[in-house]
Amino acid sequence: MSSSSLQDIVCVLGHPVVGDPTQFMMERAFQQAGLDWRFLTCDVAPEQLGDALRGIAALGFRGCQLAMPHGQAAVRELPKLTAVAELCGAVNVATRDDGHLIGDNMLGRGFLAGLRDLTDPQSKRVTLFGAGAAAAALASELILVGIAQLTIVNRTLERAERLAEQLRKQTSIEIVTTAWVGDYAITADTDLVVHATSLNHFDLDARLAVKWPSVSQLVVADISYNPVEPRWMLEVKERGFVRLGGLTTFVNQAALVYQLWTGEPADRDLLRDAAEEFFG
């Protein structure tokens, strides 16, 4: 353990933030590595986000993670952003450097780490459900690795179109937007389906309003990690599609954040075991 009288402190900010497993996971990793670090879970209302971020920097915290609904608002509150955070317009981790917080986004990289274990996303045709901060982060990373085409499906068409315009500034690939009305029919030429809305967050029985194509080769990913396996993903399993659950992305992202803060690689198996223990 560290002999320093000053402990390194990191935290997660969200609203509400109850049920977030990050503290449990990170402190387990700190303990295994012999790091005398502390992780705090802080419920911060949206109107107090700027004050909270300035306080974290002033108090000398090593950094913080940003949970819902703070990802996009943090872009306006932080003095410096990485290129990835600027591209997707959202922050989910900030690191203290020379007295200031630098905003970054690890969601897309965590997602790709899990996806590459299942398939190479290059040249794939992707259907993305959602147009918020999470969807923007995933779309930006998928475009960077060279997908062939992107369809953004969202309840509010205007929001999907805003995201598409933002993405077209960084790519020449075809980006299509469509309104999510009724059961959306996924086309047979789709290679990858990514669900990036809050539909099934904390809702085991949520139904994904889609019509699945009559194909056997399809990868379906969900970025929500609670519940670990919503019922609609069980339907995906029954159809024989390849699945990427949200917990995998969450664990990969936590591992990337841990390495960003500590400079040491994380034990992903330990982080996943801790997350599964937390969720019971």
129-170: pLDDT as tens digits:
999 989 999 999 999 999 999 999 999 999 999 999 999 988
Examine the domain organization and report whether 26 and 141 are in the same domain: no
Q: For tokens 């600027």, what's the residue? A: 86
Provide the residue type at 28 as one letter: R
- Are 271 and 254 in contact by the 8 Å Cβ rule? The answer is yes
**Shared domain check, 174 and 88:** no
User: Which domain does 154 fall in, by range?
Assistant: 108-244
Number of domains in the chain: 2
* Whether residue 232 is found in the same domain as residue 254: no
Burial of 205 (0-12, 13-18, 19+ CB in 10 A): exposed
Could you tell me if 262 and 224 lie in one domain? no
Q: CA separation (Å) from 92 to 104, 144, 171, 246, 258? A: 6, 19, 23, 16, 13
Residues 176 and 61 in one domain: no
Kindly state whether residues 76 and 175 are assigned to the same domain. Answer: no
Structure token digits, residue 198: 């809050």
Give me 113's structure tokens.
């780490």
Same domain, 253 and 240: no
Residues 6+ apart with CB under 8 A from 243: 219, 220, 221, 222, 233, 236, 237
Give pTM, 2 decimals. Answer: 0.92
* In a shared domain, residues 240 and 131: yes
Q: Which two tokens stand for residue 45?
A: 């209302």
Residue-wise pLDDT for 188-237, tens only, equals 999 999 999 988 666 778 889 999 999 989 999 999 988 888 899 999 99
Looking at the structure, tell me whether residues 164 and 234 fall in a common domain: yes
Amino acid letter, residue 227? P
